[in-house]
Amino acid sequence: MPWQTKLDESDIDRLEKELADPATRLPALAALADFAAWKLHGSGSVLILEADEKKSKLRERAAKLAMMCNDIDTISRALDSDDPRLQTWGLRVWRPGGVRPALRDRPTYKETRWYALTPKVRRLAKEGYDRSLAVEMLSGMLLEENREFLLSLIPAEKSPWVIFSILHCAERPRVGEQSTRDQRFNEELLRLLADPDVKVRRDALADIGMNWHKAEMFQVRFGAKVSQRVEELRKSDDGEEKRLANWAAEGLEKIAKIWLERDSAKPR
């Protein structure tokens, strides 16, 4: 979902006032969160520089206003919303185990109203816009109680990135154990690559093709069956699927070289 909201100073002045009215609070919050973009949630390890200093300051102001709305009731309503912008904002600010004023006089995080929102986050992990983000939020300190739930989502999930996110979070090996993440992901990729919906197959091919670009922790060891299926799809009658299959084949060659170099560098 690309950020599309365009605001000027007068718009933000108006939206700030609308935040105070329960009837207009959520639409105003959605617009502010969308415009704030990375100023609100960060951009990870990617450094984003905006040439327009005035717009950058407006985004900072919008981000501050959006963060002022992080009370439990507003988060609950955002998580219930059909608006992807509100869903994402609600997930980002939901921290049942974090340092919140609501936690200071509670013996455990499970007794807070923050934790009571968990079913809403689970719903978004199953059918929300940013399902991978919901998966992330249900992991960490909440993983043990959500592991089986997250794994149960895989058979019906059609997004390769969401499936990988679940496996990356839920299939963490204990010390001395071999990870089963990549093996499981290969199995799910074969399911997606055989899906009757060409869009599902295209998404899977695109995910394979870009894997070598990703950070090392997200890179996958692809098996021979996946490579074979990609070769089959290179003969597809669908032009876009054929193009993506060719790209996936190139990606498989590149990631294979990366793993070979990485394995060769390990002490014997």
User: pLDDT digit string (tens) for 58-105?
Assistant: 999 999 999 999 899 999 999 999 999 999 999 999 876 554 444 444
Give the Å distances, CA to CA, from 26 to 19, 35, 73, 80. Answer: 7, 14, 11, 11
**Residue at 21: amino acid letter:** D
Claim to verify: residue 72 and residue 171 sit in the same structural domain: no
pTM of the model: 0.85
Structural domain includes residue 90:
yes
Q: 98 with 173, same domain?
A: no
Decide if 199 is inside a domain.
Answer: yes
49: left (phi over 0), alpha (psi -120 to 50) or beta: beta
Cα–Cα dist 240/246, whole Å: 10
Q: Angle at the Cα of 127 (from 171 to 199), degrees rounded to 5? A: 85
Q: Is residue 218 part of a domain?
A: yes
Range of the domain at 32: 20-42+51-137
106/183 same-domain check: no
User: Same domain, yes or no, for 67 and 123?
Assistant: yes
Q: Do 106 and 131 fall within a single domain? A: yes
Alpha-carbon span 55 to 52, nearest angstrom: 5
Q: How many domains does the chain have?
A: 2
Q: Looking at the structure, do residues 231 and 200 belong to the same domain, yes or no?
A: yes
Tell me: pLDDT of 47 over 80: no
Residue 173 has pLDDT above 90, yes or no: no
**For the chain, give me the number of helices (H) and strands (E)?**
14, 0
